[in-house]
């Protein structure tokens, strides 16, 4: 049987399983041996949508693809639990996993070698594996799969699981565990990973019976991809992996509590009320987030019908084209002045698939204080959590937009929406406060490097980033045309995300241009993944904005700590005139072509060479460390506190 974990550990004296040939020792376990009803204190209430968020979601009914699956085993042929697990993945349509082997997971890896359909992309660190799985999921909409061994292998997944939880990324993580009889004995490489990850996964399982594997895998994929997507962890003891069994592929899912919280399709009356508020407003603005990525077509039609300008969160970039005249680009701490101006002066805020994060709102009481707020989100826990809406709809943004578009189409002549005056006012703000940067001699402004990349790729590349200044500049100066072009650790802000995420994106989109825009601090955190890129021959391009500093922390030092440097210099203090470390040698050690550029006049040609070179390439762009990400609203501030001038060359 499987112990589906609840929010609080339950300690029971274990009894030998009636179905298992192996006894379970008689000590207190940090999990229940009988399925528990979901606790009312779950970290996040689970809800699923009538329209699933991913094209590969598994509905309760088996699809034709699953019905026609041809196993390599005879129906009555016993096989190892690890082979059952791998076949369960195949039946979910999995084609790629990011798996790093170890003692407690090697049975799974042996089974993977017997699969003719699943490719393992071998990361060089488990964190690289989980971030790559995220990049795969974020860029494709399909669930990402990562596998690690017990103990340190499993704990190395923690940052990626937390990241997927905060950014609502569908992920299935499979970990090996010590044999059941050793659980709780502090065995070699044992960690209670279901307990460790309880609050940073949507759900997790400890498999205690080999016969439960087919059902658990089906449930894990359904939970990860339905409703508000998120990570699900499946922990599989080694003796379960080795046990022989004949699987039953027709087991039903056991998710009564989850299924009962299925949001209903939005009511026409609710949508009509929202349309009425739109018709009554003079200064409406759309505030769209990651929950709108699967609804870009419907969002585009909604904007076409209403003429309402669109501001995006960091997660929502690409859900509406950033190069469109109605796009206000990003709002929030480092958002455009005109996006924040629009929210500040709006009388109606249409918040679709967002969570009113502190980096967007600043001081909550002052955020959109003049506006009526409409909040549509699939997760009931987000509605009213930070900001109380005037009208709320708990449901799928896609369905809500479809419904509102029908109402708007049917009532177009009657409504005659015209927000031309408001749009003109915002156009003036765009002209008055454009995104800009200064040039100092031959030095390369990092913003300019991203601008050139946008021009040369025509805004069509998939961009991944690390975390810091380069991340914000990539959000500001690259004009994303479509959803799933922008891959960034937004809620968690995990440095080291960019390079492995680009690996996942390149695997999922082999014909796409994939560029990791990275900073020297973030890049070096998972630099070992250059080896994976070379071995897999992935055409990942790395645009490294190298300023020898931990840039964003340094910016805060400049602004709020009198430029006192507290361990933010990443070079060699004994050789400050040299670039350290030499990133070109990292690339060279992995057989990846690389070049360095230091002058602005040479940048365009260098980027073009990077794009034209087949396979992977690293371009080390040396930038001045004094640059600041602007605009900036200080943490907890309001629109009135926005900073638009200055850099590290100025004393504050």
Q: Which residues are annotated as a binding site for thiamine diphosphate?
A: 126
517 and 463 in contact (C-beta within 8 Å)?
yes
**DSSP state, residue 573:** G
Tell me the C-alpha distance between 283 and 275, whole Å.
14
608 token code pair: 């073009």
Residue list for the binding site for Mg(2+): 520, 547
What is the H or E stretch that residue 232 is in?
A: strand 231-237
User: CB under 8 Å to 247, separation ≥6 — which residues?
Assistant: 79, 84, 87, 88, 211, 213, 214
113 and 72 in contact (C-beta within 8 Å)?
no
Ranges assigned E (strand) in 54-158: 79-80, 96-99, 119-120, 144-148
Taking the CA atoms of residue 375, residue 378, residue 381 and residue 387 in that order, the dihedral angle to the nearest 10 degrees is -10
Residue list for the binding site: 126, 228, 334-355, 377-396, 520, 547
Instruction: Return the active site residues.
Output: 126, 188-189, 238, 552
Q: Which of 627, 479, 478 is nearest to 543 (CA)?
A: 478
Question: Quick one: residue 545, left, alpha or beta (phi over 0 = left, psi -120 to 50 = alpha)?
Answer: beta
533 and 590 in contact (C-beta within 8 Å)?
yes
User: CB under 8 Å to 578, separation ≥6 — which residues?
Assistant: 571, 572
Q: Which residues pair with 166 in a beta bridge?
A: none
Cis link prior to 631 (omega < 30° from 0)?
yes
Length reported for the chain:
652
Q: Which of 567, 574, 583, 573 is nearest to 623 (CA)?
A: 583
Tell me the C-alpha distance between 66 and 58, whole Å.
10
118 and 83 in contact (C-beta within 8 Å)?
no
Residue 228: Cβ within 10 Å count: 24
Residue list for the binding site for FAD: 228, 334-355, 377-396
């Amino acid at each position: 049987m499987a112990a589906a974990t609840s929010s609080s550990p339950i300690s029971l004296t274990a009894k030998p399983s009636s179905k298992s040939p192996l006894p379970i020792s008689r000590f207190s376990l940090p999990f229940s041996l009988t399925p528990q009803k979901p606790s009312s204190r779950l970290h996040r209430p689970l809800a699923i949508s009538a329209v699933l968020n991913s094209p590969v979601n598994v509905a309760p009914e088996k699809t034709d693809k699953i019905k026609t699956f041809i196993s390599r085993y005879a129906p009555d042929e016993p096989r190892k639990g690890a082979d059952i697990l791998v076949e369960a993945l195949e039946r979910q349509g999995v084609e790629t996993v990011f798996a790093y082997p170890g003692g407690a997971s090697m049975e799974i890896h042996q089974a993977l070698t017997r699969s003719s359909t699943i490719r393992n992309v071998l990361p060089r660190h488990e964190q690289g594996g989980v971030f790559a799985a995220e990049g795969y999921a974020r860029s494709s909409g399909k669930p990402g799969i990562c596998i690690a061994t017990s103990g340190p292998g499993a704990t190395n997944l923690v940052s990626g699981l937390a990241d997927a939880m905060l950014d609502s990324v569908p992920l299935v993580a499979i970990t090996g565990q010590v044999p059941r009889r050793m659980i709780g004995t502090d065995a070699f490489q044992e960690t209670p990973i279901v307990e460790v990850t309880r609050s940073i996964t949507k759900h997790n399982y400890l498999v205690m019976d080999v016969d439960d594997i087919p059902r658990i895998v089906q449930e894990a994929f359904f939970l990860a991809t339905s409703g508000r997507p998120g990570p699900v962890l499946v922990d599989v003891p080694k003796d379960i992996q080795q046990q022989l069994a004949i699987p039953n592929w027709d087991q039903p899912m056991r998710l009564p509590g989850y299924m009962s919280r299925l949001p209903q399709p939005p009511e026409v009356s609710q949508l009509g009320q929202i349309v009425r508020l739109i018709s009554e407003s003079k200064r409406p603005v759309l505030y769209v987030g990651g929950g709108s990525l699967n609804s870009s077509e419907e969002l585009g039609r909604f904007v076409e019908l209403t003429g309402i300008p669109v501001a995006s969160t960091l997660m929502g970039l690409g859900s509406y084209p950033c190069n469109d005249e109605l796009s206000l680009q990003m709002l929030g701490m480092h958002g455009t002045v005109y996006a924040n101006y629009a929210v500040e002066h709006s009388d109606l805020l249409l918040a679709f698939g967002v969570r009113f994060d502190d980096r967007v709102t600043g001081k909550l009481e002052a955020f959109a204080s003049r506006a009526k707020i409409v909040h549509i989100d699939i997760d009931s826990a987000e509605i009213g959590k930070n900001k109380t809406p005037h009208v709320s709809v708990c449901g799928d943004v896609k369905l809500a937009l479809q419904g509102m578009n029908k109402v708007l189409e049917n009532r177009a002549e009657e409504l005659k929406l015209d927000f031309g005056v408001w749009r003109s006012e915002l156009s003036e703000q765009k002209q008055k406060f454009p995104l800009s940067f200064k040039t100092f001699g031959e030095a390369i402004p990092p913003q300019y490097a991203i601008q050139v990349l946008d021009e040369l790729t025509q805004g069509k590349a998939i961009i991944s980033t690390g975390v810091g200044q380069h991340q914000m500049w990539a959000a500001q100066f690259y004009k994303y045309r479509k959803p799933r072009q922008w891959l960034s650790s937004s809620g968690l802000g995990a440095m080291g995300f960019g390079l492995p995420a680009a690996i996942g994106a390149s695997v999922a989109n082999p014909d796409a241009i994939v560029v990791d825009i990275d900073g020297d601090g973030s890049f070096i955190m998972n630099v070992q993944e250059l080896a994976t890129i070379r071995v897999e021959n992935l055409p990942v391009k790395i645009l490294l904005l190298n300023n020898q500093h931990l840039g964003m922390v340094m910016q805060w030092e400049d602004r709020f700590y009198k430029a006192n440097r507290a361990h933010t210099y990443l070079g060699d203090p004994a050789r400050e005139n040299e670039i350290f470390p030499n990133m070109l040698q990292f690339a060279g050690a992995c057989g990846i072509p690389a070049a360095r550029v230091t002058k602005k006049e040479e940048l365009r040609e260098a980027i073009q060479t990077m794009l034209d070179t087949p396979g992977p390439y690293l371009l080390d762009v040396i930038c001045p460390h004094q640059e600041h990400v602007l605009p900036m609203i200080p943490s907890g501030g309001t629109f009135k506190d926005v900073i638009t001038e200055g850099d590290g060359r100025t004393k504050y």
